[in-house]
Amino acid sequence: MTTIDPRFELAQRLGLAEVPAPQFADAAEVITRLREQDYLSSPEIASATFLADRLAKPVLVEGPAGTGKTALAQAVARATGAELIRLQCYEGLDESKALYEWNYRKQLLRIQAGRESGDAATWAALEDDIFAEDFLLPRPLLEAIRATHPVVLLIDEVDRVELETEALLLEILSEYQVSIPELGTVRATQIPMVFLTSNATRELSEALKRRCLYLHIGYPDVERERDIILSRVPGVTTALAEQIARVVRSLRDLDLKKHPSVSETLDWARTLVILGQSDIGDEEAAATLHILLKYQSDIETAQKELFGRRSS
């Protein structure tokens, strides 16, 4: 089957003079280059990132909190030397905060200035004038589209916006363009990499999912977690990192309300290093457990199951 290169296709649609070169040659290169940024990716993560680049498609990253979804976008931005533009989503986010807004104060000033200087511009001319790019306040999405240098766009916690607001994203995600009624369509001048993260607190719409590649980042296995600890926590020994990873794995095996995330593991590792531990003993571990677990009932369960203590 003859498939047209998706990047080529997109570049044509955007009217770019030349097809921007892809960032990565293969998935293995993703792994190495992210490792240089202290981000240890699993083969799945690398594949998804590689394909996102090649297929010129956004990636929807889901998974439990604190497993490195946001960090992935940051690492990719650093690795490719791109600017990271971040849109933090929240309930009530709207067009004027996500896409663009007209700078109406400046528009008013312009009208007043015109009146005072007495140059009797016709309304039509004035309208043309005040709805020009000068009076446009770009918000993250438009900013990412208009950028002339490479950017990575991170749309964080997209599950927090309402279903209706989600629709705002669709044009950008599939066409890499923003339509502004008064101004026309702004098309991307390069192909930005786009990451969306979600904690799956609600079902995202089919339309959004269809436009994205999908990546689920779960908890890492013992080896990868150990390596993550080693690369992110200064002063930790391999033996200690291994022990930490194993304790955390056992914790995730328990039936808890909230399992420890990778970022909590790192916090715990840092604590143990500061406390000068070279081995994990039951006493010290049980005493610092509140760094890993955030519910009292979870802490009690863990103390009972893992450290052989009855909760007093």
Does 82 contact another protein by CB under 8 A? no
d(CA 288, CA 209): 40
Q: Which one of residues 216, 224, 270, 294 is an interface residue with another protein (CB under 8 A)?
A: 216
Is residue 40 near another protein by the rule CB under 8 A? no
Q: Of 85 and 269, which has the nearer Cβ to another protein?
A: 269
Handedness of CA 44, 45, 46, 49 (dihedral sign): positive
Residues in contact with another protein, total (CB under 8 A)? 50
Is 290 a binding residue for another protein by CB under 8 A? The answer is: no
235, 281, 290, 296: residue in contact with another protein (rule CB under 8 A): 281
| 272: contact with another protein by CB under 8 A | no
Closer CB to another protein, residue 5 or residue 127?
5
* 1 contributes a contact to another protein by CB under 8 A: yes
178 lines the binding site for another protein (CB under 8 A): no
Smaller CB separation from another protein, 59 or 194:
59
20 binds another protein (CB under 8 A): no
Structure tokens at 269: 């590792």
Of 162, 179, 237, 311, the residue at the interface with another protein (CB under 8 A) is 162
3-class secondary structure per residue, the chain: CCCCCHHHHHHHHHCCCCCCCCCCCCHHHHHHHHHHCCCCCCHHHHHHHHHHHHHCCCEEEECCCCCCHHHHHHHHHHHHCCEEEEEECCCCCCHHHHCEEECHHHHHHHHHHHHHCCCCCCHHHHHHHHCCHHHEEECHHHHHHHCCCCEEEEEECHHHCCHHHHHHHHHHHHHCEEEECCCEEEECCCCCEEEEEECCCCCCCHHHHHHCEEEECCCCCHHHHHHHHHHHCCCCCHHHHHHHHHHHHHHHHCCCCCCCCHHHHHHHHHHHHHCCCCCCCHHHHHHCHHHCCCCHHHHHHHHHHHCCCCCC
Cβ-based nearer residue to another protein, 133 or 203:
203
Name which of 60 and 72 has its Cβ closer to another protein. 60
Of 115 and 290, the one with the shorter C-beta distance to another protein is 290
Q: Any contact of residue 308 with another protein (CB under 8 A)?
A: yes
> Which of 201, 274, 310, 312: binder of another protein (CB under 8 A)?
201
Distance of CA 308 to the CA centre of its chain: 39
126 vs 306, beta carbon nearer another protein: 306
Nearer to another protein by Cβ, of 56 and 178: the residue is 56
170 binds another protein (CB under 8 A): no
Instruction: List residues binding another protein (CB under 8 A).
Output: 1, 3, 6, 26-27, 43-44, 46-48, 50-51, 54-55, 57, 59-60, 62-63, 91, 162, 200-203, 206, 209-216, 243, 246-247, 249-250, 253, 257, 279-282, 285, 305-308
